[in-house]
Amino acid sequence: MSEQQPESKSKLPKLSAKAKYTFLFASWVFLSAFSFYLGMNLMGKEAPASLTLKNTPPSTVEETASEETTLSTENGETPSETKAEESKSVLEESSSENLIPSDFAAEENPSFRASAWSTDWSAMKKTVHLYNEIHPFIYVMKGGLSNNGELISSWSSTSRKERVQELRALNPKVKIIPTIFRWENPKEKIQENIGMGGRNDIRDKHIQIIVNEVETYGYDGIDIDYEGMSCDKKEKFEEFFVLLAKEIHKKGKLISVAVHPKTPAEKKKDLNCKGLSKPIHLDFRENWRGPTTHDYAFLAKHADRVKIMAYELHPRKYHNPGPGPQAPNVWLKDIIAYAKKRVPTHKLYMAIPTYGYDWALNCKASAKAVYHSDVLRIKGGTHKKHQPTDINQIIASENKVANWRNLSKFSDIHKNRAYEDPTLWYSSGGCDRVAFYMNRKAFEEKMNLLRKFDLGGFSFWQLVTDNDPEINDYLSLLVQGKLPPVQKVSDKELEEMLNPPKKVEEVKELKVSKTKDKSNKKQL
């Protein structure tokens, strides 16, 4: 285009080259600002009046230098230590061409979905074809006793983009739903991020950042894992979750929530918690601070997935209730019976542990997490294996039981129970030990139970390279829809589980108790 102006416009003052460039630059800045203003107004009209989402600067999500996030818990340990100790990587990473068999074909619309939480990138990449959903365990809240809405990610921004693409290339059908984790403990709280202290501004910023992460990295949704909250946070957590769910669903994405396990209580009562508008109805046994803030029925109305963390029935600390399995079927049945009345079946998942614990029976040595390589090591020496495991029967048949002080004092809780979870009984360093662990047989029995109750699926805590490889063989059949069908539990059976008929012995004890009460009243 010529720099000469038409004759009709030659009366305008002639501009220098510098002035022309200045004028053009100023015009560009004005037009860019005006376009940005129009775009922001359009975004504002789409958001609810109570929450206006904006583009969040990248600096609001910090990245850690290491591949794994340091996640604190109540005891100052990492969740992998508390729930399962450190994830182990003892197997070599496979080459990409061997990750998925050529004849593997996942079921199109599974009624029972397989999912897993994981910090182990190698394990995710190697087994992603065996899962319908993957939860990369990569986000934590920034700040300790107070929050500013921001997050920290153990994956860099580059890794987030590349790894999502790589997982999708390996399994185009998988849903990638990363987790945001925080466990309340003396050094870390869940406060302003859910609007405590009147800080709805920080809560809204927290929601903005979460939505921005989902959009930026193309996740299929987000998984909220806010654990151990004090009861006064129940209503604020629910307000936060409703707002977040609304924004996530606007983007056509999924929202998942991890909740504490609950089992039905025989005696129901109300808990008056300071700061709440109404009491918490305790119709469950687990009335410590964590479960009191997770209302299954309320959260299920807004969540697409409700994942019950059904593990740690026997924590690795000795004080109570000592050695035992982490998720026996007898306990899972009670959890399912409670949850089925409050959560729609297709949304309900049971989270199953991939680990067990190894306890010392007659010395003060610490309990340790048990994975597949640990099982192979123990089996390499002198040991006794039991599956199913009947602890009372074992105690009755062993001549060393008098020295098993870490188990014998808890023997009553195992009465009339045979666990599908296998055990290895052995000696090490002059100490008798028992290791509960997970193998394919125990896992298959748990899956059959969940399928009988027609649940939406299961989640693993957690997917690591050192899980029993035979479990992957089972998962391959499950995800491809090649397992034989199971007989579903009827509504009548479920009702009987919630309201079991009293045994003859219990009825006799009740009658004796009432007779004693009457005689005592007469004496008074």
| The pLDDT value given to residue 222 | 98
| The pLDDT value given to residue 59 | 55
Measured CA to CA, the distance from residue 232 to residue 227 in angstroms comes to 13
CATH number assigned to the domain with residue range 113-355+438-498, chosen from the 4 options 3.30.465.10, 3.20.20.80, 3.40.50.970, 3.20.20.100? 3.20.20.80
**Lowest mean pLDDT segment, chosen from 108-112, 297-301, 467-471:** 108-112
Give the helix/strand (H/E) hosting 170: helix 157-170
Average pLDDT over residues 72-82: 41
| The pLDDT value given to residue 490 | 86
- Tokens standing for residue 139: 């986000």
Q: What percent of the chain has pLDDT over 90?
A: 69
**Lowest mean pLDDT segment, chosen from 25-29, 163-167, 282-286, 305-309:** 25-29
Average pLDDT over residues 483-495: 88
Average pLDDT over residues 340-360: 96
| The pLDDT value given to residue 400 | 87
Q: Is the pLDDT of residue 43 over 80?
A: no
Taking only the tens place, the pLDDT of each residue in 174-211 is: 999 999 999 999 999 999 999 999 999 999 999 999 99
**Dihedral (C-alpha) 173, 124, 81, 433: value to the nearest 10 degrees?**
100
Average per-residue pLDDT for the chain? 84
Taking only the tens place, the pLDDT of each residue in 136-148 is: 999 999 999 999 9
pLDDT bucket at 71, cuts 50 / 70 / 90? very low
Q: Would you list the domain boundaries of the chain?
A: 113-355+438-498, 356-404+413-437
| The pLDDT value given to residue 507 | 41
Q: Is the pLDDT of residue 11 over 50?
A: no
Q: How far apart are the first and last CA of the chain?
A: 113
- Tokens standing for residue 218: 């193309």
Average pLDDT over residues 132-159: 97
Q: Is the pLDDT of residue 274 over 70?
A: yes
DSSP letter for each residue of 398-451: -TTGGG-HHHHTTGGGGTT--BSS-EEEEEETTEEEEEE---HHHHHHHHHHHH
Top pLDDT among 18 and 403 is at: 403
Q: Is the pLDDT of residue 97 over 50?
A: no
